[in-house]
Amino acid sequence: MIDLSTCAWRHALVTGGAGFLGSHLCERLLDAKVEVDCADNLSSGSHGNIAHLEGRRGFRFVECDVCAPDAARRLPGPYDLILHFACPASPADYLRLPLETLDVGSLGTRTMLALAERDGARFLLASTSEVYGDPLSHPQREDYWGNVNPVGPRSVYDESKRFSEALVTAHVRTRDADAGIVRLFNTYGPRMRAYDGRAVPTFVRQALTGEPLTVAGDGRQTRSLCYVDDTVDGVLLVAASHSVRPVNIGGTDEITVDEIAHRVVELTGSSSAIVHVDRPIDDPQRRRPDTGLARELLGWAPRVPWEEGIKQTIAYFTATPSVAEPTPEE
């Protein structure tokens, strides 16, 4: 865990702060004595993710859509740091909310950049490995432009993030904004939703309930898992660095989806079978970040082995059985 005592942040805004990753960021900032405004419209986030933070000194939850005309008025600040993490991030969410996903990447990002300009705040955009699409270059470096289908079913998320990156870059170039971009790869851990469509929570839920684990395609496609604590460290290091370049943050161990499924079965002691289902359109075949820039610029590298992170995720699901129950929209 990184030391934030040298950072001068007094008041931070975390959009999407009631989401999986956003809630961990709120918690880490509070632990560092930074006041936190957590803004979320709860379209994919959950009040349960931040319930343990309410009542803590310096924490304020604002149920707010960052695309709404009154967003700036409801978030008066002033802020030293704005972490823009508002966006449906899982397939279940962005396929259910396609227009909202595009709005938050465009209008929402522009509104939050204006808020950062108003307050002279450091701004950091949560982008994604999805900007690389189904990459033809491996591992993926920050200077790779990507191989993206702009009209496929996943495009609402991919293109939303690509456009939001363009907005941030334009603000840096034309307004000298202190704004950066962090590209996140396959983060997982406690507070994920069991039905959000991503591999790790899906496999853990299925294993714990005795359902067959549904592996897409032949399972030989790869992912690079990064435990949430390591991702939070990387995000905050990028925020503190004042870098305006996109920076990859993600795991460096490349694992097949089939291997993840088998290991989850072993670690849970489940009797679940593993079955193969149709692979989603535009599902990337290989995914692994080149994290050389994060290592050189920030001294960052993931520290939690992926199997240890899986154990922690299983423990969370086991201790919180309600997370395995679908919400009404799921």
| Domain boundary assignment for the chain | 11-187+226-252+285-303
Which is more confidently placed, 196 or 19?
A: 19
Q: How far apart are CA 325 and CA 321, in angstroms?
A: 8
Question: Can you give the pLDDT at residue 203?
Answer: 96
Q: State whether the Cα torsion 159-281-224-2 is positive or negative.
A: positive
Tens digits of residue pLDDT in 115-134: 999 999 999 999 999 999 99
Helices (H), the chain: 20-31, 71-74, 91-96, 98-103, 109-119, 155-175, 199-209, 228-241, 257-268, 292-298, 306-319
Asked whether residue 54 carries a pLDDT value surpassing 60, the answer given is yes
Mean pLDDT for all residues in the chain: 93
Per the CB < 8 A criterion, the answer to whether 14 and 38 are in contact is yes
Q: How far apart are CA 20 and CA 17, in angstroms?
A: 8
User: Beta 222-223 vs 255-256: how paired, if at all?
Assistant: antiparallel
The vertex-103 CA angle with 43 and 30, nearest 5°, equals 55
Written as six digits, the tokens of 280 are 């989603």
Question: Can you give the pLDDT at residue 70?
Answer: 94
Q: What is the mean pLDDT of residues 34-45?
A: 96
Per the CB < 8 A criterion, the answer to whether 128 and 89 are in contact is yes
| Secondary structure tally for the chain: helices H, strands E | 11, 13
CATH architecture of 11-187+226-252+285-303: 3-Layer(aba) Sandwich (3.40)
Q: What is the dihedral of CA 23, 25, 30, 36, to 10 degrees?
A: -80
Question: Can you give the pLDDT at residue 242?
Answer: 87
Omega before 321 cis (within 30°)? no
Tens digits of residue pLDDT in 97-117: 999 999 999 999 999 999 999
Of the pLDDT bands very low, low, confident and very high (cuts 50, 70, 90), residue 1 is confident
Name the residue among 168, 38, 42, 150 with its Cα closest to residue 105.
Answer: 168
Asked whether residue 41 carries a pLDDT value surpassing 90, the answer given is yes
Per the CB < 8 A criterion, the answer to whether 246 and 182 are in contact is yes
Of the pLDDT bands very low, low, confident and very high (cuts 50, 70, 90), residue 7 is confident
The residue from 157, 188, 195, 227 that is catalytic is 157
Asked whether residue 72 carries a pLDDT value surpassing 50, the answer given is yes
Residue listed under structure tokens 């419209």: 41
Helices 109-119 and 155-175, packing angle to 10 deg: 30
227 is catalytic: no
Name the residue among 40, 108, 106, 16 with its Cα closest to residue 68.
Answer: 108
Q: How far apart are CA 160 and CA 102, in angstroms?
A: 5
Q: What is the mean pLDDT of residues 218-237?
A: 96
Asked whether residue 323 carries a pLDDT value surpassing 60, the answer given is no
Question: Can you give the pLDDT at residue 213?
Answer: 96
